[in-house]
Amino acid sequence: MNRRMIALLGGVAAMAGTVAFAGTAEAASTPCSAEAKACVQRSSNTAWLTDGAGNVTYGGVPITVGLPKYPTPVGKFHVQYKDIDHYSKQYNGPMPYSVFFTTTGVAFHQGSLKVKSHGCVHLSRAAAVKFYTSLNPGDVVEVVP
């Protein structure tokens, strides 16, 4: 009975180690360059924050991006400015925890994860707060297909 219990516990410990390692390995990289402090992958509706040296510090988190008619642009950008309580006059709606990263008004902000935007990256409230507090003007943002 003791040998069976030891074998069972050993198997559970090995499996737990594998699961922890797999989760760590998955979170260790993004599809963006190492310099990106924020990475968006449109095809998987996922975003990450990094330390600017390629190491993930937060995410991947679920996002929604722009409608086909208003796609979130692909490329390398820099954070322009932040507005904790932005209100869009153009689209007549609140954009809490906005981090603008294009010169055309595209931002990370709190928004529906079920509704596509007019080009912005929608985040849950918790993720929007984290992106808002982590990113600063000048930080590199990359959006990949």
Residue of 119 and 29 predicted with greater confidence: 119
Phi, psi of 22 (to 5 degrees): -65, -40
Instruction: Quote the pLDDT of residue 4.
Output: 43
Read off the pTM: 0.80
Q: How far apart are CA 104 and CA 41, in angstroms?
A: 20
pLDDT (tens digit per residue) in 16-50: 333 333 333 344 589 999 999 999 999 999 999 99
Instruction: Quote the pLDDT of residue 128.
Output: 98
Sign of the Cα torsion 118, 141, 134, 138 reads: negative
Instruction: Quote the pLDDT of residue 21.
Output: 34
pLDDT (tens digit per residue) in 44-88: 999 999 999 999 999 999 999 999 999 999 999 999 999 999 999
Query: pLDDT-based confidence at 10, cuts 50/70/90?
Result: very low
* Cis preceding-peptide flag for 60 (omega within 30 of 0): yes
